[in-house]
Amino acid sequence: MNRQVLDELKQQIPLLDYLQAHDWQPARQLSRGRWMGLCPLHPDHKPSFLVDSGKSLFYCYGCGRGGDVIRFAELYHQVKFPQALTLLHQWRGLAPLLHQVTGFYRMQLHRHGEAVAYLHQRGVRSPEVIEHMRIGYAPGGCLRGWLTQLGYPLPTLRQAGLVTGVGYDAYVRRIVFPLEGNLYGRSLSDSAPPHRFLPGTKGGLYSWEQVRRYAEVILVEGLFDYAALWEAGFHNVTCSLGTHLNVRQFRQLCDGSRTVYLTLDADGNDSGQQAARCLSRSLREQGITAHLVSLPEGHDPNSFFVSGGNADEFQLLLERACL
């Protein structure tokens, strides 16, 4: 790969855009175009990560690492140089497209009564949580036409997984939550598989950059659990999108000293609780304090609140959680 191609890639992906797309937020501005924030590469409690958006360079006074967007991708995703380039190329193609799709689906949400009714039924009622999570709705049968009109070629949409092999919208009658480089779609109808993701990784922990600063973190497995807790005022909540954490999610939970409240589903076959016990052992091996939260039998955090549980009652469950 020659110098010119690398420079082009770096020009097309401003470091600050890439950081912010990975949930990084500047804590304060030093001078024009120079920002300080928490370091996404090491456990950081006071902002030590400097970003020069004009030069597209970073330097961390905590862990002593710095460089350009390619170096950042290497360190952040823990991959070697060629893989970092591949990730950046993919991101460059996918990010603007997913941004468009998210905007389109958000616009659809309030045009479709069945979507709003479904959210209500799952306890998602406040405009704040819908805004915070950027929740949208995929009615189906209109995304492809809209994106084609914007100039996206069909093969690109197929490759991203937004359109099926035979040319239909992949997300039909689904509530859609944008993730880091992916979209989670929850089906409204019982006849379709309930969960849908685009091909590729589910990404890191949900909203991690906002949550990691808390000394106590609540971990749930589903986005509707997340929504219910956030709406009840627990903003120190994050979500693993499934019972099992991927390597990056596990590493994130361990990126600083904290207490983690594992709040997985108390389902009939005990698989959630089993996974929680296993995870709590692994966390303790890494020096993280992990508590298991016991929900009433058959409940997940979402159904706990939907069936009338309130914040005080949930707070009691946290206080009663065992090591």
Q: Which residues bind Zn ion (CB under 5 A)?
A: 39, 41-42, 60, 62-63
Would you state the torsion angle of the CA atoms of residues 134, 139, 140, 144, taken in this order, to the nearest 10 degrees? -50
Which CB atom, from 24 or from 206, has the smaller least distance to Zn ion? Answer: 24
Which CB atom, from 75 or from 135, has the smaller least distance to Zn ion? Answer: 75
Q: Compute CA 37 distance to the chain's CA centroid, rounded to the nearest angstrom.
A: 19
The nearest distance, CB 313 to Zn ion, in angstroms, is 39
Can you name the residues that pair with 22 across neighbouring β-strands?
A: none
**Are 144 and 136 in contact, with CB atoms under 8 Å apart?**
no
The nearest distance, CB 18 to Zn ion, in angstroms, is 16
The nearest distance, CB 275 to Zn ion, in angstroms, is 31
And the tokens for 221? 């497995």
**DSSP letter for each residue of 105-161:** HHHHHTT-HHHHHHHHHTT---HHHHHHTT-EEE-SSSHHHHHHHTT--HHHHHHHT
Q: Compute CA 125 distance to the chain's CA centroid, rounded to the nearest angstrom.
A: 21
The nearest distance, CB 288 to Zn ion, in angstroms, is 19
Which CB atom, from 41 or from 293, has the smaller least distance to Zn ion? Answer: 41
The nearest distance, CB 256 to Zn ion, in angstroms, is 12
And the tokens for 323? 């090591």
> Among residues 145, 152, 136, which one has the least CA distance to residue 97?
152
- Cα–Cα distance between 217 and 239 in angstroms, integer? 10
Can you name the residues that pair with 177 across neighbouring β-strands?
A: 184
The nearest distance, CB 286 to Zn ion, in angstroms, is 18
Which CB atom, from 47 or from 309, has the smaller least distance to Zn ion? Answer: 47
Which CB atom, from 61 or from 214, has the smaller least distance to Zn ion? Answer: 61
Which CB atom, from 62 or from 161, has the smaller least distance to Zn ion? Answer: 62
